[in-house]
Amino acid sequence: DAKTTQPPSMDCAEGRAANLPCNHSTISGNEYVYWYRQIHSQGPQYIIHGLKNNETNEMASLIITEDRKSSTLILPHATLRDTAVYYCILPSAAGNKLTFGGGTRVLVKP
Amino acid sequence: DTEVTQTPKHLVMGMTNKKSLKCEQHMGHRAMYWYKQKAKKPPELMFVYSYEKLSINESVPSRFSPECPNSSLLNLHLHALQPEDSALYLCASSQLFARGGGNTEAFFGQGTRLTVV
């Protein structure tokens, strides 16, 4: 399975944009990039996904580089409720596999 | 209904007990998952069911026994567990992944917090 690499932690000021990087240099041509987050003591929650083009929804934006070897999740106006662990994942259709890496622990500070 | 419901929310069991965790979804999803999560670690995939058949077993010890009795239900039977098996057990469901892993999201339950004494 293609692997992802994320910084272990980052801080962000409330109201500012949070930019979360993810490296996936071994991604194959048809693999999607997914982002989930897990707020303390809750189950993970889907945020957004993309293949090649940039994507935006009500929660976040996803920027994928042209060579698809990295991506950035953008939380446009971080709030205290965005404090969570954010996971960048490449699901595998082989066996329907959804594997979590280390993630980035984001702390939004007032 | 976009919920995955897990019961019980908390479970304390002795090492000689037999217990079961339950998971239910009514979204018509044909893939269901069990994960184990220790404190401050990412969820660790245990089992995947596709069309009610076990498609992935990530070398999980036999004291954990999954069961998918129908397309809406997923059970995890527990027997002779060890204290180190104490963790948050998460269930998830999704549509089957298309080629390349897209284009579907997984829904997670809130988990069962298991303590083995």
For residue B48, list its beta bridge partners: B33, B56
CB contacts of B99 in chain A (<8 Å) are: 30, 93
Q: What is the pLDDT confidence band of residue B98, given thresholds at 50, 70 and 90?
A: confident
Residue pLDDT, tens place only, B1-32: 779 999 999 999 999 999 999 999 999 999 99
Residues of B with CB under 8 A from a CB of A: 4, 31, 33, 35, 42-45, 48, 50, 55-56, 88, 90, 92, 94, 96-103, 105-111
Residue pLDDT, tens place only, B27-84: 999 999 999 999 999 999 999 999 999 999 999 999 999 999 999 999 999 999 999 9
Contact A43 B108 (CB under 8 A): yes
pLDDT at B115 over 60: yes
The pLDDT, as a whole number, for residue B34 is 98
The SS3 call for residue B30 is coil
The pLDDT, as a whole number, for residue B80 is 95
Nearest Cα neighbor of B55 from A89, A93, A30 is A93
Which residue in A5, A35, A53, A98 has the most chain B C-beta atoms within 10 A of its own C-beta, making it the best mutation to test that interface? A98
A:B CB pairs within 8 Å: 84
| Cβ within 8 Å of B, A 65-104 | 85, 87, 90-93, 95-103
Closest chain B CA to residue A88: B42
Alpha carbon distance B79, B60 (integer Å) = 13
pLDDT at A2 over 70: no
